Amino acid sequence: MPFVVYADLEAVNPAVRGAETNYAASGSRTVEKQLPCSCGMTLLGADGNIVDTYIYHGIDCIQKLLDKLRIWTKACRCLKQMYRVLRMKPKEKHRMLVNAAHCCICGSEFSKDQQSVSDQPVVHHCHVTGKVYGVAHSQCNAKVRTQAFLPVVFHNLSRV
Ligand SMILES: [Zn+2]
């Protein structure tokens, strides 16, 4: 899916009272908890522009964030299908297919001999924006599929 979400959570750190150090288990002790209190995220579209922004303050911010991500995921799936069918005049499409010499994906020349279905030239286009990229082998076009998930990049949510 040519969309991406950038997200962040904020937390408050209330002190933990009465926590004793257990030296048999560890030399450290818990002095404060970290409680999520707000979230913010932005959905960017295929063109890099902001599609939507979401900010929420409250102790249920994680649930609200997940709810909003589900809504955005469904919306992005719908947008992804908007230009699934190529919107091009038949004459224009025919002219493009006849004049193409090289596959715009793999770069190899189109065979003038008997072509298998996978070697047939097709118009390669973006299913989100409708933008035409060029002519490609049917097989090459099928391999260049957009991802079927919505990537979410979280601030400080990675393993090192
Ligand atoms: Zn190709």
- Give the rounded percent of residues in the chain with a pLDDT score beyond 70: 95
Distance from residue 125's CA to the centre of ligand 1 (Å): 14
- Report DSSP letters for 37-78, one per residue: EEEEEEEE-TTS-EEEEEEEESTTHHHHHHHHHHHHHHHHHH
Distance from residue 4's CA to the centre of ligand 1 (Å): 28
In this predicted structure, what is the pLDDT of residue 67? 97
In this predicted structure, what is the pLDDT of residue 159? 62
- In eight-state DSSP terms, residue 85 is S
In this predicted structure, what is the pLDDT of residue 66? 96
Distance from residue 17's CA to the centre of ligand 1 (Å): 66
Distance from residue 46's CA to the centre of ligand 1 (Å): 23
Rounded Cα distance between 159 and 105, Å, is 35
In this predicted structure, what is the pLDDT of residue 44? 95
Q: Which amino acid is at 104?
A: C
Residue 129 reports pLDDT greater than 60: yes
Would you kindly state where each structural domain of the chain is located, as residue ranges?
4-16+28-82+147-154, 90-143
Residue 28 reports pLDDT greater than 80: no
Burial class, 75, CB count within 10 angstroms (exposed 0-12 / middle 13-18 / buried 19+): middle
For residue range 57-78, list pLDDT tens digits in order: 999 999 999 999 999 999 988 8
* 137-145 mean pLDDT: 89
In this predicted structure, what is the pLDDT of residue 50? 95
Of 146 and 5, more confident: 5
Distance from residue 80's CA to the centre of ligand 1 (Å): 23
Distance from residue 147's CA to the centre of ligand 1 (Å): 20
Distance from residue 108's CA to the centre of ligand 1 (Å): 6
Distance from residue 142's CA to the centre of ligand 1 (Å): 10
151 alpha-carbon distance from chain centroid = 4
- In eight-state DSSP terms, residue 21 is P
Distance from residue 81's CA to the centre of ligand 1 (Å): 23
